[in-house]
Chain A
């Protein structure tokens, strides 16, 4: 039983990361119906930006986290303006392929600039382990979970309580009507990219601190899993992405912890299998709305 509770803690730490990345997927999809496959690379970029902020700029951790989020938000905005905006009127396939292209571009540029070797994220905190009657939580796991929850509340506040949030929701529902109501659609989309990218960067910095290994291809698998999380929760739905992220993290921890040598190497496969099952049973995801798209 204790082991099971410890596995839940492992799963929640990992799930926090997936949830943060999944939010970006779901927000961008919600607003322009684009699956931004370059999103995993923003997460990778964020990890590198955080690492450089600590090692080169010598910033303390939380400033480095904010620095990485700001820089990655800018990168997200640039990508949106340069690569996606000109294609907004073209077919969705064109934008999707561009997203994949951007993903490769970011990976390769990072490999070129930072080298294709593994770098180690500087360990700025002494890890402490807290024991609650056999349930062991280490300080990094608390940090990851805490930062994730704070960012999620912040996001919910922005989306539900601010003018900007209302603009985002209205663009998501009907772009043309929003224009007529005086919403600046372009700016709203850009800000959505900025927020999504900042969240992914935060995830990147946290995972850097937690897993230590930072390398140019580190965004691919978590990016895909976060996408699965977004679909699982219902793509377009913000609470759905959060629930989806935690669910994927927990599932991975359970497969790795209890799968034995037979199943544990295939924990990623189990996650993708889940995607297929969700798509078969409930195509709109856990909290997704079943909207018929006009053809």
Chain B
């Protein structure tokens, strides 16, 4: 089951581990850190629209197995939401480069409470973006009990949210990618939460549109993400895309970069 370790390679690694004098504040190799050489000169805006190219994948509807009086007998599967104009909703876009300057405009929302509602046995919004320092406000607007369960790398949460109540969850660490949100009682309920240290992220709306303002102007690495397929490995020629749905872009001070329609081939969804 998987490769066997190579004894001599392992020994070499062990020797370096034992002889290493690790500095107290050495970086642990987490996300890509903006090196001292990276300069950000001013602010820019990035916008665009993710559009599905091809037939949307057929998703079978969900049949609630509990509290049907409230939840209904059937509800739409929200894992791939395509708008009337082929816009791909709930696509997540965020900056991977870390230690970025934060524009003053974002200071006023730094301690905001962002609402995640349990309503009609769904999570609203289906994909939520929040930053470290803000508070996640989980509400139960239904007349039945819910428990909200979040399984992130750092944010782990499973509390009962009684009928009509709200629970505040302080957000103190970022997640490398969106984390699943579930309810154990109504096990078809599913949502996603994106937690970042900076405000440079967006979740596309019903038309597939996103706009991120006041980005530090310079070279930035972005990650796209859609819940069915993970990163969107697009073939868009202007930007340097990689196989895991990341792209790098250089923005200039005062620039409003419109990526226009970013075509997402429907074939990416096959098999998922």
Q: Do A and B bind each other?
A: no
